Chain A
Amino acid sequence: MKKVLLSGNEAIARGTYEAGALVACAYPGTPSTEILENITQYGEIDASWAPNEKVALEVGIGASFGGARTLVTMKHVGVNVAADPLFTLSYTGVRGGLVLVTADDPELHSSQNEQDNRNFAKFAKVPMLEPADSQEALDYTKLAFEISEQFDTPVFLRSTTRISHSKSAVFLGERVADIPEPKLKRDPAKLVMLPGNARKRHQIVEQRTLDMEQWSCQQPFNQVEKGAGEVGVITSGVSYQYVKETMPDADVLKLGMVYPLPKQLIREFASQYKTLYVIEELDPFIEEQVRAMGITVIGKDKLSICGELTPGRIKQQLFNQESPVEDTSAEIPQRPPSMCPGCPHRGVFAELKKAKAYVSGDIGCYTLGFMPPLSAMDTCICMGASVGIATGICKVLPEQEQRKVVAVIGDSTFLHTGINGLMDMVYNKSTATLIILDNRITAMTGRQENPTSGYLLNQLEAPRVDMEQLCRAVGVKHVTILDPYDLAMTGKVIRAEMARPEVSVIITTRPCMLVPRDNQIPRPPLFVDHDKCTGCKACLQIGCPAIVWDSEKKKAVVDKIICTGCKVCMQTCGFDAFQQYGDKS
């Protein structure tokens, strides 16, 4: 067998291939994105980006109903969007196995909350497997497809950032042979969830959970690892690794399936120890169920519900050991992420700040408009929320204040769930302004294709949504197309549309700087003529990483290696100090 290093996400992709899946569908979201990107290497699988997670799951449900093994992936908050079909899919069950990956983000490395999606398993009555390394990510993916078909249920595979983005050694297997040919099979009593059918299915779901609870007590994925026999630990997922690291002598019940719990197995294990720990990240999900069985444990009374676990945090929180590390963060300047040099969003936020707009923000690279020195974002909740929040806030404000409200959203997020908000804006006669930052790519998650990019996940060409026509079709009368590299025009258009007492949409046209196919005409970098630079620092207020303050000369300097020649800085200079290499004028 071949042994390779794979990330958790690569291993899930491989497991999906080995399980014989024919379809995979997703909306990108950190830390889940690389699963679908890696699946494209397996030509046997039809892999695609959907406009949002609800559509992704619905496409997956269709493929399963057609008879194919199907993978659907999303980040934790994506499951909120997909929850509507999920809860009823739990009732219908599947035809081809359906595995739904939820990639949670404890510590909020790249998210707006750190919800614990194990709760979704219990809420939707869907079993959940939780791998602890890349080998298990591969093995459990294959197992999840089998369980899905054996128990006629969708199956959750829960990853976390530290599983998805860690690499460890994995043995590769072969793709299963004899994949059944998908074909239509009508079964309306199972698949049409009208009340009469759904009542019967609900009873089946309850029995299914009881059956799995008993069955899982004898399965090798829920296993006891004997230690010195003095203390017991119940754990799962990445927390298992930290337990082995910090408590090498403990007896460990490692749960591969975190819902439903193997209650009999837990009872037998717990009965052997005076001291029993439940060690899990985020919510006391296992702990509450174990306590409800009348078992006393040590868990979230000591371990924090907030943030991820680490070996150090277990030692500090559980065993009161002090951190050996001194905190030097006050002495060292922070290095937060920022918009790239040449990013087309920069000028828009500089002008929004000047116009003193109240910016209802959204999820994407442009959320970095919050960071200083731009500091031009006032709200950010979830995908698509900028539009509805702008509508709502205008409902309660006096007219003068309403004029300040501007919603800002990217192309991918607009198509994800922003378009519904725009229909509401028009229908209910909102006065807010919407700016669609159309850079023709889903940039923040690492440049994934979407219906505005003109390409598919597999890089074949695709039809492109016409944003202007889309806005006009839902009834927006005032749509302005704008070059965001033209600062004067950007400011003028933003001010004019803010003042307009009707819905208006501004669509910016510059592509993401990081997409080579959209940036084929090279622009020479700029430089600062130090005879003209007065050191006024106006150019530093747009937060471009290519402009650096020379504290000795008291002048601005352009880093020509990373400057993209967008000339936005040039327009902020009152002294004509910026010049472009090769420009004769």
Chain B
Amino acid sequence: MSKVNNILLAGVGGQGILLASEVISEVMLLAGLDVKKNEIHGMSQRGGSVVSHVRYGEKIYSSIIPEGEVDILFSFELLETCRYLPLLRKNGRVIGSNWQISPPAVARGVQAYPENLEQKICQQFPLSVIVDGLGLALAAGNAKTVNTVLLGALSNVLDFERGLWLEALQKLIPPRLLDVNMKAFELGCGEVSR
């Protein structure tokens, strides 16, 4: 069987995870590959933990990534990154944001937000890239473009024509928000050199 590539997106409801997985899937479709993506809507939209599976290759069956076969954990929030870290394959990597959002028990002061997560991630998976997603999004001019910043960082480590990414963004992002998102994508691209 030819290689199947697995990207798991993780974060918090409202961070733009589903749009990001839409963009990645569209890039794969434009590249002529088979692609499936899978996520749970519903309860998780209320600020809960959200994941989206994206799989691409010559032929994809299951839309759920088998345990331990995630190649890239593409994550939007540090605690959520750590929650799904065990699903990564041994030589896998995290492309993610250093954003921290307190879950309810932490916000109420009942539990603590775990410390040193960024170091822990990079020690375990040395190829990981953690960027200041929110800072770059604000630099692009809109706090809600964190997902596009991260897509830029992701595009550096995936071997697809830059034009495909731009085409997918143009297709899926509303015209009035396209300029700021293009800027966010560029800033994300600048974070990792190929």
Contact = CB atoms under 8 A, between A and B. Distances in A.
Interface in A313-329: 315, 323-329
B49 A245 contact: no
Identify the interface centre among B49, B83, B108: most chain A CB within 10 Å of its CB: B108
Interface in B16-42: 22, 25-26, 29, 34-42
Contacts of A543: 104, 108
Interface in A330-347: 331-340
Nearest to A326: B86
A551 interface: yes
B35 A312 contact: no
A147 B74 CA distance: 44
A238 to B, nearest CB: 8
A310 B46 CA distance: 25
Contact of A325 (B26, B60, B67): B67
A333 B111 contact: yes
Contact of B39 (A165, A244, A371, A372): A165
Contacts of B85: 328
B165 to A, nearest CB: 16
Interface string A410-435: 00000000000000000000000000
Nearest to B41: A165
Nearest to B87: A325
A311 B61 CA distance: 10
B38 to A, nearest CB: 4
Contacts, number: 162
Number of contact residues on B: which range applies?
35 or more
Nearest to B25: A5
Q: For the complex, would chain A's binding face be called helix, strand, loop or mixed by DSSP majority?
A: loop
A478 interface: no
A561 interface: yes
Interface stretch (A91-99, A166-174, A292-300, A515-523): A166-174
B77 to A, nearest CB: 9
Interface in A519-552: 537, 540, 543, 545, 547-549, 551
21 contacts: A30-B43, A109-B43, A166-B37, A166-B63, A167-B35, A167-B36, A168-B60, A169-B34, A241-B63, A311-B62, A324-B68, A327-B86, A334-B49, A334-B105, A335-B49, A365-B46, A373-B108, A446-B45, A543-B108, A545-B47, A549-B106
Interface of A: 3-5, 30-31, 34, 109-110, 133, 161-162, 165-169, 241-242, 244-246, 248, 310-312, 315, 323-329, 331-340, 365, 368, 371-373, 444-446, 537, 540, 543, 545, 547-549, 551, 561
